[in-house]
């Protein structure tokens, strides 16, 4: 029995979750709902409360509110009264670092205005020190815009003064069953194309990002100002191949060490 058992729902602290209908935020919603004796209740933020995923969250007991990262006032209202806020931006809707930066800036101003006690900001590292000169410059100043823009946006949360944990996420293993799933080559064999050479690839099940955020909120202020990185498992290409084989039971999956064209192969995105 935990110290929270029996607490009235109204006594619980609110964790407001951006991206609640998506992979990362959805994992956090799941984690809070799976912990009914815990100190938190969840407020799921979506642009459309009538969309099927949002309705499903309400059916499972989440408070569902509408807000958009494009509308600062709506964010302020969605964050009001919350103890904690999980912020994730979705680069892949706009493909624009500027849009992602502007969204993160709005969220940082809104958490400050709402008096939130603890933010978990889902971020990625700045690739520029590592990749400068080795890949083209994109969107004026980036090497990997969706990484670099998130890293730049860290400063908005630091400057806000709101206690923030910087959750550096990583490649979702889910991608290997989705964007990067094995494709059948011209010879009929399944091929998994990840041009990773001999590098190691850290990864995580996307739902575990939300679980980690839940753990960070449970840990309270001690995690604020800190950076948390998902780096525990980083297999090389043989390890990735073993994992895919284990999960799919497909013996034919190959993993080339370098990029080569495969019909239907997708560009790297995470």
Ligand X SMILES: NC(=O)c1ccc[n+]([C@@H]2O[C@H](COP(=O)([O-])OP(=O)(O)OC[C@H]3O[C@@H](n4cnc5c(N)ncnc54)[C@H](OP(=O)(O)O)[C@@H]3O)[C@@H](O)[C@H]2O)c1
> Which residues bind to ligand X, rule: CB under 6 A?
18-25, 46-47, 51, 54, 68-70, 88-93, 124, 146, 169-172, 175, 270
* Shorter beta-carbon distance to ligand X: residue 104 or 253: 104
* Shorter beta-carbon distance to ligand X: residue 19 or 185: 19
Residue among 235, 256, 230, 232 at smallest CA distance from 246? 235
* Shorter beta-carbon distance to ligand X: residue 103 or 164: 103
Burial (CB < 10 A; 0-12, 13-18, 19+), residue 136, is exposed
Residue among 204, 235, 262, 268 at smallest CA distance from 24? 204
Please answer whether residues 70 and 103 qualify as being in contact, where contact means their C-beta atoms are separated by less than 8 angstroms: yes
Q: How far is CA 87 from CA 123, 148, 183, in A?
A: 9, 17, 34
* Shorter beta-carbon distance to ligand X: residue 27 or 38: 27
Return the SS3 of 44: strand
CB of 254 to ligand X, least distance (A): 22
Burial (CB < 10 A; 0-12, 13-18, 19+), residue 267, is exposed
Question: Across the chain, where does the E strand assignment appear?
Answer: 13-17, 40-46, 63-66, 84-87, 118-123, 164-168, 171-172, 183-184, 190-191, 203-204, 227-229
Q: How far is residue 236's CA from residue 192's CA, in Å, rounded to a whole number?
A: 14
CB of 93 to ligand X, least distance (A): 5
CB of 25 to ligand X, least distance (A): 6
Number of alpha carbons in the 13 Å side-chain half-sphere of residue 36: 5
* Shorter beta-carbon distance to ligand X: residue 39 or 86: 86
CB of 27 to ligand X, least distance (A): 8
* Shorter beta-carbon distance to ligand X: residue 102 or 253: 102
Structure tokens at 67: 């807000």
Q: Give the residue nearest to ligand X (CB).
A: 22
Residue among 180, 184, 211, 194 at smallest CA distance from 257? 194
CB of 40 to ligand X, least distance (A): 19
* Shorter beta-carbon distance to ligand X: residue 90 or 96: 90
Q: How far is residue 23's CA from residue 19's CA, in Å, rounded to a whole number?
A: 7
CB of 76 to ligand X, least distance (A): 13
CB of 105 to ligand X, least distance (A): 13
CB of 60 to ligand X, least distance (A): 15
Q: How far is residue 140's CA from residue 102's CA, in Å, rounded to a whole number?
A: 16
* Shorter beta-carbon distance to ligand X: residue 20 or 108: 20
């Amino acid at each position: 029995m935990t110290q929270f058992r029996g607490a009235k729902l109204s006594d619980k602290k609110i964790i407001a979750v951006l991206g609640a209908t998506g992979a990362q935020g959805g994992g956090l919603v799941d984690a809070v709902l799976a912990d009914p004796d815990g100190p938190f209740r969840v407020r799921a933020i979506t642009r459309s409360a009538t969309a099927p995923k949002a309705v499903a969250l309400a059916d499972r007991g989440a408070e569902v509110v509408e807000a958009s990262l494009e509308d600062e006032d709506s964010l302020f209202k969605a964050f009001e009264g919350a103890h904690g806020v999980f912020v994730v931006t979705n680069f892949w809707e706009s493909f624009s670092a500027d849009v992602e930066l502007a969204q993160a800036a709005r969220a940082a101003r809104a958490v400050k205005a709402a008096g939130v006690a603890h933010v978990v900001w889902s971020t990625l590292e700045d690739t520029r020190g590592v990749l400068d000169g080795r890949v083209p410059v994109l969107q004026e100043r980036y090497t990997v815009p969706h990484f670099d823009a998130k890293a730049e946006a860290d400063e908005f949360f630091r400057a806000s003064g709101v206690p923030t944990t910087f959750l550096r996420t990583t490649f979702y293993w889910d991608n290997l069953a989705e964007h990067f799933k094995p494709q059948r080559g011209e010879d009929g064999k399944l091929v998994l194309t990840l041009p990773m050479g001999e590098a190691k690839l850290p990864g995580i099940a996307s739902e575990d990002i939300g679980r980690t955020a839940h753990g960070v909120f449970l840990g309270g202020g001690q995690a604020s100002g800190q950076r948390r990185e998902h780096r525990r498992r980083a297999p090389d290409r043989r390890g990735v191949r073993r994992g895919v084989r284990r999960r799919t039971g497909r013996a034919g999956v190959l993993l080339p060490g370098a990029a080569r064209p495969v019909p239907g192969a997708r560009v790297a995105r995470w």
